[in-house]
Chains A and B, each alone.
Chain A
Amino acid sequence: MRALFLLLFLFRLIDTQAQEIEADLSYKYMFANNWDKVIQTYNFSRPFLTEKQPLFMHGINGSVSYIFKSENKFKQGINASYSHFNSYAENVNFVNQYNLHFLNVGYMLRYESTEKLKGLTTDFILSASSSALFRNVNDEPFIFDDTRSKAFGIGGDLSVRTSYSFNLKNKIRLSPFVQIGYTPYLFSPNTEAVINQTSGLVSPNFTDIFSSQIGLKFRLRE
């Protein structure tokens, strides 16, 4: 009960401090050169797998933003987002799947246009990014030495998002948006071990990640 009261109090505090709380869902396209190399090497080195492993390319993203009250055209906020990418290939006796999860938490600077372009907003988001990669074989977590096959990574993400808000009804606003981002990324050496079952053979433990997104933003409170 005490925890519930604490949560309600925190929510109320956030609610009163925030000008806006937003949530969004989007399609995310990713280009990570060194992850491509590892998966391409995996596919190249396994002619016995006719169905090739797709690259980490198409994913989904969801995020929540909390924007502080301000009378200025520039507003500040915090943003947390989650992305998921999947690489799935089904061969006889061997269904191989990699699941890549990203969690970003960061600072957001918002510019809201006024007058003629009212409703157009641009967000600059600087976040810390972390990822977890898992492998499944035949629809089960791949376990060896009694441990699940997994790898982690960290990076810093810089994104720019532009959206335009439509008022549907009172207080309900939908904002289509586009976003592009760049993330210099360090991944753990065993990332290659999870994907290609080698270490140090294919790529350095670093990759540039370029991403673009298109989606819909829901303004939860104004």
Chain B
Amino acid sequence: MNRRKFLKQTTLLSIGGLLLPSALLSSCRPDTLFEDSSFQGKVLIIGAGAAGLYAGYILKSKGIDFQILEAAPNYGGRTGKITGFANFPIDTGAQWMHGKNSIIGDLAKKSDTQITLDDSSEKFWFNNEIVSSLPQDINAIFLDDYTAPDVSFAEFAVQKGFGNEYKNIVEFIAGDSGAAASHISAYWKIKEEEYWSSGDEDFKFQETYFDLIEKQIAIHVQDQIQLNTAVKQIDYSGSTITVTDNNSNVYTADKVIITVPITILKSGDIEFVPALPTEKTTAFSKIGMDAGMKVFLKFNTKFFDENIFGGNICASYSDDSIGKVQDDNVLLAFIMGQQAEYLTSLGSDTAITNALLQELDTMYNGQASASFVASHVQNWTTNPFVRGAYSYSTVGMGDARKVASESVDKKLYFAGEAMNVNGHHQTVHGAIETGYREVINLIKDVRK
């Protein structure tokens, strides 16, 4: 072989050797997972909240047969809205988009949904007066203290020198996580949120969160949702899973994605045949979910501040018109944990409203009762298909969420905000992440 021939062959071999594998590899690298899912079976989704709706949306996009069974007379889970109460639509459930670096942020951008940064000012009810700042910055100890012991917020606050006078401020901080301060773990809350990546800014929707869910997600799966269908039994003992509802109707499926709130899983309302593994039910029991309600109070004057934190009846009041185009005077009482339990125990919406007005009168010298127009009580605790606010990290929680979210026998898959192990539990975008995560797990199991 002469030099010229050698060089020619070497060059051709080199170029061919590089370009051919590159071209072949490119064709083997699809830009999405499971271009061909190859799953011909049927999937039942239990629950039409954000996770269930999104799981259905993904299954539909992959051409997989599915049906969604929802116990309530409406879909949306813990999102919802009322109109007519004020001159802007009211979010009865999830209201804030927590950070815009999330799938919901992308969806809002894509759909040109109008959102507004909630940078409203904070005031505190402290030592029987409204103050702009607290003597000591209590927030920092819960946000940044990575050495927090596995004790409750309430106990941790006392350890850090925030005694009785900060009690309702501590309740406000715990309430933001949907819990009573005596229930939520200082350590596990910080630990579980290590993965939080969506951002710290809160945004409000010009319409409502429910509108986004309905118009951008539910619209794609509406024809597959069966409302007023409470699942009573899931029998996964055979090769085909049978699901029985409250009217003794039987549905069959190859896979079931369960997206009901953790309170429903803990209550035993759904019977599993065979019973779920003990470690699974133990994990469920370690995930907390306290009472929660939202009360909207309409007034004819705006006497209140944008936010008032630290009330004894309600630890968090917010001006609900922030972020909306119209500006009726609506104050949101965001009530969680033991405060929600107490108000629920009063027995009626009127009694709840009166208790809140009484507290506001104390704060604002009787202006609340004087300018009160109407109220709307949304008590998620008494909603039989929800029974609380959202999940939180309990003392001694460990890896309960991880165990709880694992599939069973490659037949049962668990989604919903409580099953998010990536720091986004308690949020709608966290629920959505579990919805598509479980579809990925399901298809993976089919392909194995």
A interface residues, Cβ below 8 angstroms from B: 29, 31, 36-37, 39-41, 43-49, 52-55, 57, 91-94, 96, 116-117, 120, 137-138, 142, 144-145, 149, 162, 164, 176, 178, 180, 189-190, 192-193, 197-201, 212-214
Shortest Cβ-Cβ A-B pairs, 8 listed:
A193-B197, A47-B61, A43-B32, A144-B199, A44-B33, A199-B195, A94-B110, A45-B436
From B22, B195, B200, A29 is in contact (CB under 8 Å) with B22
The proximity string for B residues 2-37 relative to A, scoring 1 for CB distances below 8 Å and 0 otherwise, is 010011001100110111011001100111111000
B22 touches A93 (CB 8 A): no
CB-defined contacts of B105 to chain A, threshold 8 Å: 144, 197
9 A-B pairs in the complex with CB atoms less than 8 angstroms apart: A55-B29, A93-B111, A144-B99, A144-B101, A149-B101, A189-B195, A198-B197, A199-B423, A200-B422
Q: How far is the CA of A138 from the CA of B17 in the complex (A)?
A: 38
A93 touches B32 (CB 8 A): no
B58 touches A47 (CB 8 A): yes
From A46, A48, A92, A214, B19 is in contact (CB under 8 Å) with A214
Q: How far is the CA of A37 from the CA of B31 in the complex (A)?
A: 9
CB-defined contacts of A200 to chain B, threshold 8 Å: 195, 421-423
Q: How far is the CA of A48 from the CA of B57 in the complex (A)?
A: 10
Q: How far is the CA of A91 from the CA of B109 in the complex (A)?
A: 11
CB-defined contacts of A43 to chain B, threshold 8 Å: 31-33
Interface check B409, CB cutoff 8 A: no
From A44, A96, A120, A144, B440 is in contact (CB under 8 Å) with A44
Known: A49-B110, A162-B14, A164-B11. A40 touches B31 (CB 8 A): yes
CB-defined contacts of B14 to chain A, threshold 8 Å: 162, 178, 214
A200 to chain B, nearest CB (A): 5
Q: How far is the CA of A145 from the CA of B196 in the complex (A)?
A: 13
B interface residues, Cβ below 8 angstroms from A: 3, 6-7, 10-11, 14-15, 17-19, 21-22, 25-26, 29-34, 57-58, 60-61, 99-103, 105-107, 109-112, 195-201, 216, 220, 421-424, 429, 433, 436-437, 440
Q: How far is the CA of A158 from the CA of B428 in the complex (A)?
A: 44
B110 touches A212 (CB 8 A): no
From A53, A96, A180, A212, B31 is in contact (CB under 8 Å) with A53
Q: Apart from A47-B60, A93-B110, what 20 extra A-B contacts exist at CB < 8 Å? A: A29-B22, A43-B32, A44-B440, A48-B107, A52-B31, A52-B32, A55-B31, A57-B26, A94-B110, A137-B109, A144-B201, A145-B199, A180-B18, A189-B195, A193-B197, A198-B433, A199-B422, A200-B421, A200-B422, A212-B18
CB-defined contacts of A176 to chain B, threshold 8 Å: 11
A197 touches B106 (CB 8 A): yes
The chain A residue with its CB closest to the CB of B23 is A29
Q: How far is the CA of A213 from the CA of B14 in the complex (A)?
A: 10
Q: How far is the CA of A117 from the CA of B200 in the complex (A)?
A: 62
The chain A residue with its CB closest to the CB of B430 is A198
B422 touches A212 (CB 8 A): no
A60 to chain B, nearest CB (A): 14
Q: How far is the CA of A1 from the CA of B224 in the complex (A)?
A: 75
A93 touches B112 (CB 8 A): yes
B110 touches A91 (CB 8 A): yes
A175 to chain B, nearest CB (A): 11
A162 to chain B, nearest CB (A): 7
Q: How far is the CA of A90 from the CA of B3 in the complex (A)?
A: 50
Most chain B CB within 10 A, of A93, A96, A138, is at A93
Q: How far is the CA of A48 from the CA of B113 in the complex (A)?
A: 14
Q: How far is the CA of A96 from the CA of B31 in the complex (A)?
A: 15
Q: How far is the CA of A48 from the CA of B109 in the complex (A)?
A: 11
B89 to chain A, nearest CB (A): 22
A46 touches B103 (CB 8 A): yes
A44 touches B433 (CB 8 A): no
B98 to chain A, nearest CB (A): 11
The chain B residue with its CB closest to the CB of A91 is B110
B299 to chain A, nearest CB (A): 33
Q: How far is the CA of A178 from the CA of B10 in the complex (A)?
A: 11
B18 touches A199 (CB 8 A): no
CB-defined contacts of B19 to chain A, threshold 8 Å: 214
B405 to chain A, nearest CB (A): 11
The chain B residue with its CB closest to the CB of A89 is B31
